[in-house]
């Protein structure tokens, strides 16, 4: 307490000066309308800037949480979409048992679940491209699971650890996927020639296949991906090594330059189908 009094006594002239200046400003702004209006305008501007800056900081801090909630919601919507699409196909084929099940509850027909993940590394050096995700075995991810973005197919999980997964993307020569043109019954194969990161090739389609620039390319028969997922769009006719088949260059729906969030597909029937098919191959 003595030190506080000594400090006040030593700096009393400064304290008196500050009080007099503050009182002078009070008199000026209280008894002069023009100065008072300038003060109010300036004070409102400063206050508005402060609140805006505070809101921006708060929004930035909450962005990560909001983005995670959005990914979870997208996973739920994708799951419901595939359930409804499957039931709709069953109704169109006249399956009365599935019609009854659809009328009662669509949850029982779920085959695909979706695990949201974030991209933590992308390697586009050379041809051996890969993507690393921040989810692994501890989150239910296994090798051979398909990976999609909000716009199209991304790739297939190759290796996993407890908390990370490595994905072989479409833009890797090792990637192969059965595909077809929308509204077509003919199936081909998707591959990448290593030249353009935004473009892949749809091969082995019959010469009589009718196509137009911009036609949608979808997944067909695959143990990893559901049918009718968007892969890309026909951009032009490519070079074919066989005179009986066409090759199309397709513009990939997924932009790997800006890829940040993905969904990993968990096929609940995958192991059952795989085990059954392996028995036939023995």
pLDDT in tens, 7-49: 667 777 777 778 777 777 667 666 666 655 655 555 545 555 5
Of 259, 247, 237, which Cα lies nearest the Cα of 133? 259
Per the model's pLDDT, the better-predicted residue between 35 and 141 turns out to be 141
pLDDT band at 108 (very low <50, low <70, confident <90, very high): very low
Phi and psi at 255, nearest 5°, equal: -90, 105
Of 214, 141, 221, 147, which Cα lies nearest the Cα of 180? 221
pLDDT band at 102 (very low <50, low <70, confident <90, very high): very low
d(CA 268, CA 110): 8
The secondary structure of the chain, three-state, reads: CHHHHHHHHHCHHHHHHHHHHHHHHHHHHHHCHHHHHHHHHHHHHHHHHHHHHHHHHHHHHHHHHHHHHHHHHHHHHHHHHHHHHHHHHHHHCCCHHHHHHHHHCCHHHCCEEEEEEEEEEEECCCCCCEEEECCCHHHCCCCCCEEECCCCEEEEEEEECCCCEEEEECCCCCCCEEEEECCCCCEEEEECCCCCCCEEEEEEEECCCCCCCCCEEEECCCCCCCCCCEEEEEEEECCCCCCCEEEEEEEECCCCCCCCEEEEEEECCHHHHHHHHHHHHC
Phi and psi at 76, nearest 5°, equal: -65, -45
Mean pLDDT of 48-70: 57
pTM: 0.65
Mean pLDDT of the chain: 78
Least confidently predicted of 70-79, 161-170, 214-223: 70-79
Q: What is the pLDDT of residue 133?
A: 94
Q: What is the pLDDT of residue 104?
A: 39
Ranges of each domain in the chain: 2-56, 116-282
CATH superfamily of 116-282: Rod shape-determining protein MreC, domain 1 (2.40.10.340)
Q: What is the pLDDT of residue 264?
A: 94
């Amino acid at each position: 307490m003595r030190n506080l009094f000594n400090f006040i006594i030593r700096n009393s002239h400064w304290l008196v000066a500050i009080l007099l200046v503050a009182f002078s400003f009070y008199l000026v702004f209280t008894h002069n309308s023009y100065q008072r209006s300038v003060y109010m305008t300036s004070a409102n501007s400063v206050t508005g800037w402060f609140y805006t800056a505070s809101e921006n900081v708060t929004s930035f801090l909450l962005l990560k949480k909001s983005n995670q909630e959005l990914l979870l919601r997208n996973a739920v919507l994708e799951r419901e979409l595939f359930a409804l699409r499957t039931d709709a196909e069953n109704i169109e084929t006249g399956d009365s048992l599935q019609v009854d099940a659809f009328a009662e509850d669509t949850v029982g027909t779920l085959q695909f679940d979706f695990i949201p993940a974030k991209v933590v590394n992308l390697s586009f050096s050379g041809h051996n491209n890969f993507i690393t995700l921040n989810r692994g075995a501890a989150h239910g991810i296994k090798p051979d699971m398909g990976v999609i973005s909000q716009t199209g197919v991304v790739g297939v999980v190759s290796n996993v650890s407890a908390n990370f997964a490595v994905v072989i993307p479409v833009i890797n020569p090792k990637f192969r996927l059965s595909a077809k043109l929308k509204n077509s019954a003919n199936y081909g194969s998707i591959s990448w020639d290593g030249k353009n990161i935004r473009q892949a090739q749809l091969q082995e389609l019959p010469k009589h296949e009718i196509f137009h620039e911009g036609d949608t390319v979808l997944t067909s028969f695959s143990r990893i991906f559901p049918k009718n997922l968007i892969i890309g769009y026909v951009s032009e006719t490519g070079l074919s090594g066989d005179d009986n088949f066409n090759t199309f260059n397709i513009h990939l729906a997924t932009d790997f330059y800006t890829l940040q969030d993905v969904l990993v597909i968990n096929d609940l029937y995958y192991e059952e189908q795989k085990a059954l098919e392996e028995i036939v191959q023995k």
